[in-house]
Amino acid sequence: MIKNIIRYVAVFILCLAAYERPAIHAQEQPHVIEIHAKRFSFTPAEITITKGEPVTLALTADDVTHGLVIPELGVNATIPKGKVTKVVVTPQQAGTFKGQCGHFCGVGHASMVFSVQVKDK
């Protein structure tokens, strides 16, 4: 009886050792950049990201509803006051991309601009 148990355990251990498991890699989470919108500016007003690497923009409006529009990067987000709006961006080309507030927020709305520097890897 004990010999059979030992035999089964040995076979089990050999099977486990022979079993090739695929490597499991933790999926990389996008880098998160927090951006606050407040009449009439974004903080920070400029960010630098890398071509081909996903980035999550965590957008928060501190006073009234704002927006962030960066046409060349496909960003068009409404940012309700007090809530975080997340936008994932994966730039495909290097350069400087201009953005602005996409929701009228008062007389200084036109001066509420944003800039994204995308660098090559």
Six-digit token string for 110: 């036109």
pLDDT band at 25 (very low <50, low <70, confident <90, very high): very low
Instruction: Tell me the average pLDDT across 56-63.
Output: 97
Average pLDDT for residues 44-58, to the nearest whole number?
A: 97
Coil, strand or helix at 46: strand
Greater pLDDT, 19 or 109: 109
Identify the helix (H) or strand (E) that includes residue 23. Answer: none
Superfamily of domain 31-119 in CATH is Cupredoxins -  blue copper proteins (2.60.40.420)
